[in-house]
Amino acid sequence: MNIAIIASEAVPYAKTGGLADVIGALPRYLKKLGIQTTIFLPRYNDIEGTFVKDLQIEMRKVFTVKVFKKKNYYFIDYPPFFKRDGLYGTKGVDFDDNCERFTLFCKAVSRFINEQNYDIVHCHDWQSALVPLYIKLNKTKTKSIFTIHNLGYQGKFPRSKFSLLGVDEKYLKHNGIEFSNDINFLKAGIVYSDFVATVSETYAREIQTPELGFGLNDVLKKRSAHLYGIINGLDYDLWNPQSDDMIYYPYHDFTGKMKNKVSLAHECNIKAKRPFIGMVSRIAGQKGFDILTKVVDEIVDMGFNFILLGTGEEQYCDKLKALSQVYATCISVNIKFDNKLAHRIYAGCDFFLMPSLYEPCGLGQLISLKYGTVPIVRKTGGLADTIKEFDPSTQSGNGFLFTEYSSQALIEAVSRAYRLYCSRELFKILSQSCMEYNFSWEESAKKYKKLYQILLKS
Ligand code: ADP
């Protein structure tokens, strides 16, 4: 089986969030199952690679695009579009030519793929969502799967840009690319792929409801016979406290973990003798920052220290930075993208907070489990599928959950976590048992393999 994977980010080349972790890991685990993969990415910077060929791509005018190869990756190179500070925008504001950038990417990839022999193209999120349509138009035998990692980002652009796509008007109307009088790349992916997948079973159900369907719930419902939920795995080669060379002290137990806590306190300039709640996150409404920013002071007054690492919307960053000045010895706010500090926060904190409004899968809770950092999460999407409330009487469960999307419900979950922290022995038991959970890619890759097999027989 020969699969082309098309995405806009992948570890180690470019990352803004969990999509990059998935694309960086899934191919390696598919390979273990005998599946060959080739990954297509934009060439954002001077990634070394061998020049393969030029492609002449028409998009109102002719663009000369270069293709570079490195191992099983192909990079689509057009420097005016891709060599920029930021993948999709800067300071939380999208680039205004994202339609042009990712139409060019999809067209170039589709042209290149047509000259090769792939059984399946597996596209991810709106940036690659035009590929299934282009593949269909070329009438090859290649089949397509489209995985939605986040329905909140759809690639919506003014209708006037439709002619950039170079396809017949009939694809605009009538269950096509048009949505609320705009064009919508994600919708194109949903409508024109053979199969649609998303990154957890709960999220697969949620996106078919008006509450979390972002207007596409009916479109998704129509595809429900071919809509699958497969939870992401975690790449334990990269995320493993026993072999992690980015943390202060690699560890396998609670005692080792506590040494990391002391060093993290030192690095972040906060008091060590309090429970730590950490967050490593895009700072966006989706991640629950509206309900959180209202109660950070209450969380600190309860007895916690709070450490945040993230980038994103200025309104939340400013509020959080202001709070960190008021509570200088208890709150550390780090507005940057910093992989090393991320590893250290996962290792050094006692709890990891994800109060998300919605969460397609979520990797933060899976990483924190591996590092013995107890998740406090809202019960939605992949968080609901992976975290169960800890029951002190049976010692079952692996975290703390709340359901209602409110500051009050969040505080109640945080208080339960605090009470547990105070009964030291139980907290230690929970932290150690979190480390034992296994959400490796092995199982999820097997599910993708099965899906590919079903698709090839369909
Ligand atoms: P999403 O994909 O919605 O952003 P996930 O929880 O699925 O959220 O994945 C987020 C990934 O990005 C995790 O690997 C997390 O550690 C990482 N990450 C997010 N923000 C930062 C940051 N500022 N610095 C370093 N890593 C980050």
Round to whole Å and give the CA distance between 391 and 34. 41
Q: Does residue 380 share a domain with residue 292? A: yes
**What does the pLDDT look like over 153-198, one tens digit per residue?**
999 999 999 999 999 999 998 689 999 999 999 999 999 999 999 9
Taking the CA atoms of 328, 274, 429 and 347 in sequence, report the sign of the dihedral they define.
Answer: positive
Q: Does residue 210 share a domain with residue 312? A: no
In which band, very low, low, confident or very high, does the pLDDT at 42 lie, cut at 50, 70 and 90? very high
Q: Residue of the nearest CA to atom 8 in ligand 1?
A: 18
Kindly state whether residue 241 falls inside one of the protein's structural domains. Answer: no
Q: Does residue 412 share a domain with residue 393? A: yes
**What's residue 91's pLDDT?**
74
CATH number at 104 reads 3.40.50.2000
**What's residue 174's pLDDT?**
66
Q: Residue of the nearest CA to atom 22 in ligand 1?
A: 337
Stretch 318-338: mean pLDDT, rounded?
Answer: 97
**What does the pLDDT look like over 244-296, one tens digit per residue?**
999 999 999 999 999 999 999 999 999 989 999 999 999 999 999 999 999 99
Q: Does residue 414 share a domain with residue 328? A: yes
For the chain, the average pLDDT equals: 96
**What does the pLDDT look like over 8-20, one tens digit per residue?**
999 999 999 899 9
- Is residue 92 scored above 80 in pLDDT? no
Residue numbers of the domain that contains 263 = 254-434
Kindly state whether residue 249 falls inside one of the protein's structural domains. Answer: no
Kindly state whether residue 107 falls inside one of the protein's structural domains. Answer: yes
Q: Is 69 annotated as a binding residue?
A: no
Nearest atom in ligand 1 to 19's CA: 2
Q: How many angstroms separate the alpha carbon of residue 354 from the centre of ligand 1?
A: 11
CA-wise closest residue to 413 among 365, 378, 388 = 378
Stretch 381-401: mean pLDDT, rounded?
Answer: 97
The tokens for 307 are 């450490």
Q: Does residue 208 share a domain with residue 65? A: yes
Pair type for strands 2-6 and 120-124: parallel
pTM of the model: 0.94
Kindly state whether residue 239 falls inside one of the protein's structural domains. Answer: no
Kindly state whether residue 242 falls inside one of the protein's structural domains. Answer: no
Mutation probe of ligand 1 site: the residue of 151, 282, 352, 358 with most atoms within 8 A of C-beta: 282
List, in sequence order, every residue forming a beta bridge with 365; answer none if it has no partner: none
Stretch 324-348: mean pLDDT, rounded?
Answer: 97
Q: Does any ligand 1 atom lie closer than 6 A to the CB of residue 311? A: yes
